[in-house]
Structure 1
Amino acid sequence: MDIASFKGQAAIVTGAGQGIGFEIARQLAAEGAGVVLNDIDALLAQKAAAAITATGGACVAVPGNTADIAVIRQMIAAAVQHFGRLDVAIANAGITLFGDFLTYPQESFNQVLQVNLGGTFFLAQEAAKQMISQGGGGSLLFTSSVTGHQAHKDLAAYGMTKAALEMLAKNLVIELSAHGINVNTVAPGATLTERTLHDPGYEKVWSQITPMGRPATTADIANAVLFLVSGKARHITGQCLIIDGGWTSVSPSPF
Structure 2
Amino acid sequence: MRFENKVAIVTGAGQGIGFEICKQLVQRGAIVILNDIDDAMANNAADQITSDKGICIAMPGDSSDVTFIGKMVNTAVTRYGSIDIIIANAGITLFGNFFTYTPEAFTRVMQVNLGGTFFLAQTAANKMKQQEHGGAILFTSSVTGHQAHKDLAAYGMSKAALEMLAKNLVIELSPHNITVNTIAPGATLTERTMDDPAYEKTWAALTPMGRPASTLDIANAALFLVSDLARHITGQSLIIDGGWTSISPSPF
- Structure 1 residues 236-245 or 71-80, which shifts more? 71-80
2:178 aligned residue: 181
Q: Does the 8 Å contact 1:16/1:39 carry over to 2?
A: yes
Aligned residues: 252
1:114 aligned residue: 111
Q: TM-score, normalised by structure 1?
A: 0.97
Q: Does the 8 Å contact 2:29/2:53 carry over to 1?
A: no
Matched letter for residue 12 of structure 2: G
Q: TM-score, normalised by structure 2?
A: 0.98
Matched letter for residue 245 of structure 1: G
Q: Does the 8 Å contact 1:42/1:64 carry over to 2?
A: yes
% identical equivalent positions: 69
CA positional deviation for 1:204: 0.3
Q: Does the 8 Å contact 2:28/2:53 carry over to 1?
A: no
Q: How does 1:28-43 map to 2 (within 5 A)?
A: 28-43=25-40
Unaligned runs of 5+ in 1: none
Q: How does 1:190-205 map to 2 (within 5 A)?
A: 190-205=187-202
2:130 equivalent to 1:130: no
Q: Which runs of 4+ in 1 moved over 3 A?
A: none
1:153 to 150, 155, 167: 150
Once residues 53 and 82 of structure 1 are traced to their aligned partners in structure 2, the CA distance between those partners, rounded to angstroms, is: 17
Once residues 60 and 129 of structure 2 are traced to their aligned partners in structure 1, the CA distance between those partners, rounded to angstroms, is: 25
Secondary structure of 1:192's counterpart equals: coil
Matched letter for residue 250 of structure 1: I
CA positional deviation for 1:134: 2.7
Secondary structure of 1:72's counterpart equals: helix
Once residues 73 and 114 of structure 2 are traced to their aligned partners in structure 1, the CA distance between those partners, rounded to angstroms, is: 18
2:142 equivalent to 1:142: no
- Structure 1 residues 231-240 or 129-138, which shifts more? 129-138
2:205 equivalent to 1:211: no
1:105 to 90, 102, 107: 102
CA positional deviation for 1:54: 4.3
Secondary structure of 2:90's counterpart equals: coil
Unaligned runs of 5+ in 2: none
Post-superposition Cα deviations, 1:62-118, rounded to whole Å, max 9, x if no partner, equal 111111011111110221133211000000000000000000000000000000000
Matched letter for residue 5 of structure 2: G
Once residues 123 and 140 of structure 2 are traced to their aligned partners in structure 1, the CA distance between those partners, rounded to angstroms, is: 17
